[in-house]
Each structure stands twice: as structure tokens, then as C-alpha cells.
Amino acid sequence: MGTPTENGVVAVAGEALVDLVPAPVGDYLEIAPGGSPANVALGLARLDVPTRLLARIADDPMGRRIREHLAGNGVGLDHAVAATEQTSLALVTVAPDGGPSYDFRVDGTADWQWTEAELAGALDGPVVAVHSGSLALTTPPGAAVLRGLLARAAATATISYDPNCRPLLMGSPAEVLAGAHELLAVADVVKVSAEDLEWLVPDATHEVVLADWAARGPAIVAVTLGGDGVLAATSSGLRVQRPGMRVDVVDTVGAGDTFSAALLAGLHARGLLGAPARERLHAIDAATLEAVLDEAVRAAAITCSRRGADPPTATELYNG
């Protein structure tokens, strides 16, 4: 298929922080702009989807680097806040299999200090979807403000949600699961990783969670399985499994965020985002769902084949 057509803006709300990642040579750390929501916005923009990032970005050297990186890739920052607090930091360790682990420096930093006034106008214009997840929806005081934004946005936009669990910072699994269940009542599109579910609901199978979560309101729930692909369920009762794509894995940093971006881009290209399309999204057929999931799996695999959160462009994904 071709690249997505411009039929509305996707807004992404949440953290835009700096990852400190191991350099390819030597015992050094490199600065890499990151944060799950910012990575999703980057992935959407590279897939030619008009994208608006709702983030509090520090006015310090690392914050200015984040802005330069995102703006240079076409992410709209007109609604990003110039925060007075410092940039949040994530220290990233990559295991031999490419899987990352994170340690954070986030106390009192820019990403979590949202006020209602800072989100005035956040949904202005042709916003057809709002995506959020990860630390932004669990870290006070801003979490409650962003959750309120998603609830308001549901009247006019598709709501996309990724728990993207970070156990070091999110509290107990029971608390996070209760908050996730609240968001499932608002969300239309949900992506969750098998790793997230192992922490949230360790005694439940993926199939049981799919059935439960799809019954709580979303049109589509997708469980990503790393190299084994994805399982998905819809509110209409469809169950779909798609295989993974074999690549030489460099690391998996940003792979889940890339999946979310490509999933939304695929729905965007097919005119399935926005409140007027909600009924059609809930009635998505198996062939369309499989095609969109295959695109998302391919996008995530491409990201795994290179260092860091480096999602594919539209040309690489759709014509590569």
C-alpha cells in the first residue's frame, strides 16, 4: 500500500525524556531522546501522519536536544510546554538478547507537572486520535490531568492506550491494573506487551486477558509477543494471530512504541480514526485487521534491527 493520507492529526500525550544508552564502542553513555509517548510521536511522523506532541519539555540543554530531534522529524511541537523543571533521565542497560532495562532520575522533573491550563487548546483543530501511556498516566501530579484529557477527548477522537509498564516507578501491579481497567473504559485501541502482562496479571493467559480487556470497551486489543508476533481481539469477537518477522536484533529499544505508531498509522490510512469512524472501527474485518497488524509487526522489526528508538519511514515500511 502507499503512504497514509492526511485525514487528521494524531495527538500524543506524555513524557519526552532523555535515554542514556551504552555507546557502541567503549564504556561510555550516549544521549538519545526518548520516552514512550515521544517515541510514538516520532514513529507516527516518520510514517507521514500529521502528529502533535503534548509534552512538557525542559528548557535545558537536553530538553533543547529533544525538541530539535522531534521537530527535525516532523513532530508538531506547537502544543508542547516549555517547562522550567529539568529533563527526566532514563539510564538504559541492554541485555545480550537486545532487551532493555531502565533506571530513572525523575523526581520533580518536567514531564509530570501538568496543569489543566497547559492543556487548553490541546484538542483544537482536526485531532482524530489521542495516544498516551506509560509513566505519564501513572506519575503524579500530572497523571490525573492527562487521564482527564483522554476522557474529554473520547467524545471526538479515537483513544489509544499502551500501559508500557515500568515496575520501578509505577507502584504495585494491583494499583496499575486498576488504573488500566479505568482507561480501558475510555480507550478504543489498546496495545500491551506480553512482558507487561507478566507483571500485571502473572496468573492469566494472554487469551484470557484479551477476552477480558476487549469486553471492557476497546474496539481492538493487541498483545505483542516480541519475535513471536502479536495476538489481537476485537469487540466484535474477532481473534487474530500474526507471526513475527525475523531480523538480526540489535536491540529492542522503542520497538513497542513503533508498533503502536504503525498500528495507528495503519488505521489512519484506512480512515478508521476519529469519533465518526468509531462504529466502523468496532466492526473492523479480519483482513483489514491482519493487514494493519502485519504493518505494525514489520515496523517494530525494523526498529529492532537498528540501535535505539529509530522507527522506519513510510518508504521503508510500505515500499521497502
Q: Which numeric CATH code is attached to 9-318?
A: 3.40.1190.20
Kindly tell me the sign of the dihedral angle through the C-alpha atoms of 125, 5, 42, 261. positive
CA–CA distance, 320 with 314 (Å, rounded to integer) = 9
DSSP for 148-188 reads HHHHHHTTTSEEEEE----HHHH--HHHHHHHHHHHHTT-S
What are the pLDDT digits (tens) for 241-260?
Answer: 999 999 999 888 899 999 99
The 10s digit of each residue's pLDDT in 19-61 is 887 777 767 778 889 999 999 999 999 999 999 999 999 999 9
Could you give the CA distance from residue 37 to residue 47 in angstroms, rounded to a whole number?
Answer: 15
Q: How high is the pLDDT of residue 7?
A: 64
What pLDDT digit, counting tens, does each position of 102-132 carry? 788 889 999 999 999 999 999 999 999 999 9
Answer whether 0.85 is exceeded by the pTM. Answer: yes
With H, G, I as helix, E, B as strand and everything else as coil, classify residue 29. strand
Q: Where are the domains of the chain?
A: 9-318
What distance in Å separates the CA atoms of residue 80 and residue 63, rounded to the nearest whole number? Answer: 11
Cα separation, 21 vs 307, in Å, equals: 10
Residue 183, number of CB atoms within 10 A of its CB: 21
The pLDDT score that the predictor gives to residue 3 is 39
Torsion sign over Cα 22, 261, 201, 208: negative
